[in-house]
Structure 1
C-alpha cells in the first residue's frame, strides 16, 4: 500500500459521517429494514468491471467501521494495484443490513477515487522517459479535495497546492486586476506576510513578453498557460531553466507526450479531478443460508 501519512483522519471521519447522514438521514434505510431481517448475516463481494487502478480502500474500511464495528473487510488487492476486468478485489462479512447501509457510499468512493487514480496513471505513463512530473490542480469536487488529491498520488501524480493558503499562484486575473504582470509580482514580493514566509511563488504567463518580465524577479516557478507547442519551446529558451517550468491548459493524453519532450519540469492536468470516468465497480450481496 502506498504511503498515506499525510491523510488527515479527523477531517476524513467528518466527511464520512456526513456522507452517512446524507444517505441514511434520521430514519435510516427504510427499504432494507423492511425486507432484511435484523440479525441476518451474509457478505458482499467487490467486483471490478473494467481495468484500472484501485484507490479508496482505507476510506471504505473506515466507512464501514463507522457504520458497524462488527463488520469484517478482506481485500485481495493492495491500494494502488492495477486490476483486470471482472476481478474480485475484496469482500465484506457481517450483518447484511449494515452492509446495505454503506453499499452506495462505499461504491461511490471506490469508483470516483479509482477513476482518478486510473486516469492519473495513464498520464504518468504517457510522459514516461521524460523529466516531467504530473501535477493535479484545485479543480476538485467541493469537500472531497483531500480524498481526490490522495487518489492522484495513488495514481503516481503529484499534488499542486492544497488550497489558496499554501502557495502563491499569480494567475491571469491577478495580473489583469493589478495592471500588469510586473506590478502583480512586485505587490506580492513587497507583502509583509509573504516576505516572512517560505511559500513558493508561481507566476502564470500567457505570452513570451510576460515570460521575459516574470524571470526578472526572484520567483520559484513559471507556468506557461495555454501556449502552443512552438511558443512553449521559445519560452523554455528564454527561461533557460533558471527556474522551474510548468505547463498548463488544455492538456490531453494525445498532446501531453509532445509537451513533455520539450523539457519542462511539470505539467498540471485539471482533468485528473474534474472529469475522470468512474471505474465500474459493483458489490454483489450473498446471504448466508
Structure 2
C-alpha cells in the first residue's frame, strides 16, 4: 500500500463543487426528488468491479458530504491500497436523496483516479530492481491536475511539475526560439533564480554533448531515444546530471529503459490514457 498525506479539503472543494453543479444543473436531481420520498434512508456500498489500486476515496467522500452532511461515510479501502473485484471500498448510510444525488460525481472521480493509480502501479512494478522512478507529466485533464497527480502518488509514482512556475523545463521549441542549446542555457543562467532547478530536453547525443560542455542544467530529459542511445547517454553523463527518459514510454518498454540507469521515466499516458476502474454503488 502506498500512503500519502491527504490533500486539504479546501483544495478539493472547488473541483467537487464544480462537478456537482454541472451534474445537478439548474433544477437539481429531479428524478430523485420525484421518485424517492423525502425522508427515505439509504444503506449503500461502493464496490470495485475489477482489481486495481484505489484512489479518489477522499474526493468521493467529499462529494457525498457536500450534497448532504447527514450522509455518513465509512471508507473501507483507503487511497493507495489495492482492491479486488466485489471489494467494498466505501459504505454509506443516511438520507437517500443525498446519496443518489452525489452518486455519479463520486463514482466519476473515484473511477477515474483509481484508473490512474492502477496504471501507475503497473509501470512501477516494471522498475523493480532498478533505481528508476516513474513520474507523470502535465498531460492532465484541465482543472483536475491536483487530484490526478495525487492518484499517481497513490499508484507508487512520483510527480513532475504541477505548473509552468514550478521549475524551468527547456523543451525543443524553447531551444529553437532561443537559437540553440548554448544560447538558451546562457540566457537561463543569466536570468533564473538560484532557487529554481533547470531541466533541458535533448533529442540527440550531440545535443547532450553541448549541455555537458556548457553546464547550467540540473536535469536532462532524454526524449524519444531508443534503448541503445539511452545507454550511451547514461555513460556520457557519468552521474553528473539527473537523467529523465521520455517519449513513447509504454508499460512494455519501461523495464528495459529502467535497466539502462536513468533516474526517472516520465509517461504522459499515466494521466491521459488510463482506463477508468469500474466501480458501482449498490443499495
Q: TM-score range by the shorter chain?
A: over 0.9
User: How far, CA to CA, are the matches of 1:97 and 1:244 in structure 2?
Assistant: 53
Q: Find out whether 1:139 has 2:114 as its counterpart.
A: no
CA RMSD of aligned residues (A): 1.2
TM-score by length of structure 1 reads 0.94
Q: Find out whether 1:199 has 2:196 as its counterpart.
A: yes
Q: Find out whether 1:2 has 2:3 as its counterpart.
A: yes
User: How far, CA to CA, are the matches of 1:17 and 1:60 in structure 2?
Assistant: 12
**Which position in structure 1 is the counterpart of 2:262?**
264
Q: Find out whether 1:70 has 2:70 as its counterpart.
A: yes
Which aligned pairs between 1:44-123 and structure 2 lie closer than 5 A? 44-123=44-123
Q: Helix, strand or coil: the match of 2:252?
A: coil
Q: Helix, strand or coil: the match of 2:230?
A: helix
Contact map agreement 2:4 2:153 (CA 8 A) in 1: no
User: How far, CA to CA, are the matches of 2:81 and 2:20 in structure 1?
Assistant: 27
**Which position in structure 2 is the counterpart of 1:210?**
207
User: How far, CA to CA, are the matches of 1:9 and 1:36 in structure 2?
Assistant: 30
Q: Which segment drifts farther, 12-21 or 121-130?
A: 12-21
User: How far, CA to CA, are the matches of 1:43 and 1:200 in structure 2?
Assistant: 51
User: How far, CA to CA, are the matches of 2:157 and 2:249 in structure 1?
Assistant: 15
Q: Which runs of 5+ in 2 are unaligned?
A: none
| Cα displacement (A) at 1:27 | 1.0
| Cα displacement (A) at 1:185 | 1.2
Q: Helix, strand or coil: the match of 1:50?
A: coil
User: How far, CA to CA, are the matches of 1:223 and 1:124 in structure 2?
Assistant: 19
Q: Find out whether 1:284 has 2:282 as its counterpart.
A: yes
**Which position in structure 2 is the counterpart of 1:24?**
24
Q: Out of 214, 223, 226, which is 1:225 matched to?
A: 223
Contact map agreement 2:48 2:278 (CA 8 A) in 1: yes
| Cα displacement (A) at 1:234 | 1.2
Contact map agreement 2:120 2:156 (CA 8 A) in 1: yes
| Cα displacement (A) at 1:8 | 4.4
| Cα displacement (A) at 1:91 | 1.3
Q: Which runs of 5+ in 1 are unaligned?
A: none
Offset from partner CA, 1:164-197 (integer Å, 9 cap, x none): 0011000011111112111111111111xx1x34
Contact map agreement 2:185 2:216 (CA 8 A) in 1: no
**Which position in structure 1 is the counterpart of 2:11?**
11
Offset from partner CA, 1:47-98 (integer Å, 9 cap, x none): 1111000111111122211111111011221221111112222211111111
